[in-house]
Amino acid sequence: MAYQVTIQDSQRTFLAEPDETILAAALRQGVKLPYGCREGACGTCRGRVLLGQVEHCEAQLTALSEADRQAGWALFCCARACSNLSIECREAAAGNDTPIRTLPARIVRLTRAAPDVMLVDLKLPSGDRLEFRAGQYIDILLGEGRRRAFSLANSPQTDGCLQLHVRHVVGGRFTDRLFGQMKERDILRLRGPFGSFFLRDAPDKPAVLVAGGTGFAPIKAIVEQAIAEGNARALHVYWGARQRVDLYLLELAERWARQHANVRFVPVLSDSPKGECWRGRTGLVHAAVMADWPQLGGCQVYVCGSPAMVAASRRDFLAHCGLPEEEFFADSFDFAADTLEAIGASDDAEERVEDHA
């Protein structure tokens, strides 16, 4: 039997089958809830269960602790209803109704931006385009029901073309093929767009954009969209990586800051070798944000990177910098189950999943 789910604030209702997540049930019935990774890692779909019982399923402890669960919190991308529910959650911003499509795309360029990072430029069929919002992601369909999710790194103004930033994970089903076998003119199948990681309309609030590794991809799209639209909103971009080579588009980000007065860029390295003579910031990227912004109460924060980075940012920005929870937006890079089995995951590996990272 299906269970009725009621969103307290709007009193909207929908039905959830016992074998589907609350998020999947809501989206299936046209109820727009915010979400990012769909893997219980980023916390974007976090909400509270006021009445009723849920099964938390794959929700990760970094995004939803045992104390959170006892207090009634849930991640709706993982939680399944065990009874009728009353829930408290944000509903997605208006305008996030772009149609989800399945399309072929041809690889037109493969660029090795770093030893383990490939920029993949895709071309859609002639005369076709994918409607999306800067910051959203697509699934690459691999067959047998498997998929890999990657953020779109270009602004929607680039008609018919899409760019992905892919980090090689040795043993990864998709990235091994991409780095070892795929070539220009190969065809991929994609589906999307997905996610609610996009810039909200709040011109008076500085936007603090925090990227870790290839989490730079959706941040790049958001900044380039703002530049293309002549948006004068203050954008403070922080990009964290281990070493200088991992800042694979450093010159591009520095050029944004030189050419646009509203864009500030801060690169941060956590493990720079002494021989690099790095004179920039060091340490954890979210700690650099906290040093510069001890008070984030008047800001919006957008974070994209590993689950550990996203969880630390959420925890510390809310607890120590006064950031309202509703002004924290995140997308988390996680592992596909088959990739985990093949390689065993480390904190910094980044084969995206929906398996979405």
The CATH number given to whatever domain includes residue 163 is: 2.40.30.10
In a shared domain, residues 315 and 242? yes
Please give the pLDDT value at position 318: 96
Same domain, 192 and 247: no
Please name which of 260, 261, 225, 218 lies closest in space to residue 239, comparing C-alpha atoms: 218
Domain termination site, one of 88, 112, 140: 88
Q: Residue 334 has what pLDDT?
A: 67
Q: How many domains does the chain have?
A: 3
Residue with tokens 């190969």: 186
Same structural domain for residues 244 and 192?
Answer: no
Tell me: do 175 and 215 sit in the same domain: no
Q: Which domain holds residue 48?
A: 3-88
Q: Is residue 238 part of a domain?
A: yes
pLDDT at 60: 85
Domain membership flag for residue 352: no
Tell me the sheet residues that pair with 166. 118
Same domain (yes/no): 211, 126: no
The pLDDT of residue 22 is 95
Query: What is the pLDDT at residue 143?
Result: 82
Confidence (pLDDT) at 272: 76
Long-range Cβ contact pairs of 339-347 (< 8 A, separation 24 or more): 339/169, 339/171, 339/172, 339/173, 342/171, 342/172, 342/173, 343/169, 343/170, 343/171, 343/172, 347/306, 347/308
279 and 191 housed in the same domain: no
Confidence at residue 355, expressed as pLDDT on a 0 to 100 scale: 34
Angle made by CA atoms 290, 295, 300, in degrees to the nearest 5: 85
**Looking at the structure, do residues 213 and 326 belong to the same domain, yes or no?**
yes
- What pLDDT shows up at residue 354? 35
Regarding whether 311 and 230 lie in a shared domain, the answer is: yes
CA dihedral of residues 136, 304, 351, 90 (deg, nearest 10): -60
- Of the candidates 144, 105, 107, the one whose C-alpha atom is nearest the C-alpha of residue 124 is 105
pTM of the model: 0.80
- Write down the pLDDT at residue 99: 84
Provide the b/e sequence for 316-335 (b: ≥16 CB within 10 Å): bbbeebebeeebbbbbbbbb
Tell me whether residue 310 is in a domain: yes
pLDDT of residue 122: 97
Query: Residue 55 is part of a domain; what is its CATH number?
Result: 3.10.20.30
166 and 142 housed in the same domain: yes
Q: Quick one: 218 and 305 in the same domain?
A: yes
Which residues face 303 on adjacent strands? 210, 330
Residue 355 covered by a domain: no
CA distance 334 to 270: 20
Structural domain includes residue 183: yes
Instruction: Give the separation between CA 308 and CA 292, rounded to whole angstroms.
Output: 21
325-to-87, 137, 315 alpha-carbon distances in Å = 17, 23, 10
Same structural domain for residues 192 and 308? no
- The answer to whether residue 351 sits within a structural domain is no
212: domain CATH number is 3.40.50.80
Show pLDDT as tens, one digit a residue, over the chain (357 residues). 899 999 988 889 999 999 999 999 998 998 888 887 787 877 888 899 999 999 999 888 878 889 899 999 999 999 999 999 999 987 765 545 678 899 999 999 999 999 999 999 999 998 888 999 999 999 999 988 888 999 999 999 877 789 999 999 998 889 999 999 999 999 999 999 988 899 999 999 999 999 999 999 999 999 999 999 999 999 999 999 999 999 999 999 999 999 999 999 999 999 877 767 898 999 999 999 999 999 999 999 999 999 999 999 999 999 999 999 999 999 987 655 444 444 344 334 444 443 333
End of a domain among 88, 115, 145? 88
296 assigned to some structural domain: yes
Distance, in Å, from the CA atom of 18 to the CA atom of 246, rounded to the nearest integer, reads 43
My answer on whether 13 and 45 are in the same domain is yes
- Domain-located, residue 256: yes
